[in-house]
Structure 1
Amino acid sequence: MKKYIPDLYKSFLLYLILAITIFTPGTMSAQNKNMMVRISEIEIFPEFLSEYKAVLKEESSASVKLEPGVLAIFPMYQKNDSTQIRILEIYSDQDAYQSHLKTPHFQKYKTTTIKMVKSLKLIDMNSIDTESMKMLFRKMNE
Structure 2
Amino acid sequence: MKHLYFLILLILLICFSCAPKQHLKTETKSEDMIIRISEIQIHPQYLEEYISILKEEAEASVRLEPGVISIYPMYQKDDKTEIRILEIYADRKAYEAHLQTPHFKHYKTSTVTMVKSLKLIDMQAIDIKTMQQLFKKL
Runs of 4+ in 1 over 3 A off after TM superposition: 136-140
Q: For 2:97, which of 96, 99, 121 is the aligned residue?
A: 99
How many residue pairs get aligned? The number is 114
Structure 1, residues 24-63: CA drift from partner, whole Å, max 9, x if none? Answer: xxxx4x6332011000000000000000000000000000
Amino acid at match of 1:53: I
Q: Displacement, 1:134?
A: 0.4
Q: Secondary structure at the match of 2:57?
A: helix
Q: For 1:38, which of 24, 36, 49 is the aligned residue?
A: 36
Alignment of 1:131-142 (within 5 A): 131-136=129-134, 138-140=136-138
Unaligned runs of 5+ in 2: 1-24
TM-score by length of 1: 0.75
Q: Secondary structure at the match of 2:133?
A: helix
Give, in whole Å, the separation in 1 of the partners of 2:69 and 2:30. Answer: 11
CA contact (8 A) 2:30 2:124 kept: no
CA contact (8 A) 2:29 2:128 kept: no
Give, in whole Å, the separation in 1 of the partners of 2:108 and 2:100. Answer: 11
TM-score by length of 2: 0.77
Q: For 2:77, which of 66, 75, 79 is the aligned residue?
A: 79
Which structure's residues are more often helix, by fraction? 1
Q: Which has the larger radius of gyration?
A: 1
Q: Secondary structure at the match of 1:31?
A: coil
Percentage of pairs with the same residue: 59
Q: Secondary structure at the match of 1:128?
A: coil
Partner of 2:66: 68
Unaligned runs of 5+ in 1: 1-21
1 or 2 for the larger relative contact order (CA 8 Å, sep ≥6)? 2
Amino acid at match of 1:92: A
Give, in whole Å, the separation in 1 of the partners of 2:33 and 2:90. Answer: 5
Q: Displacement, 1:139?
A: 4.1
Query: Please, what is the CA RMSD of the aligned residues?
Result: 1.6
Give, in whole Å, the separation in 2 of the partners of 1:79 and 1:36. Answer: 27
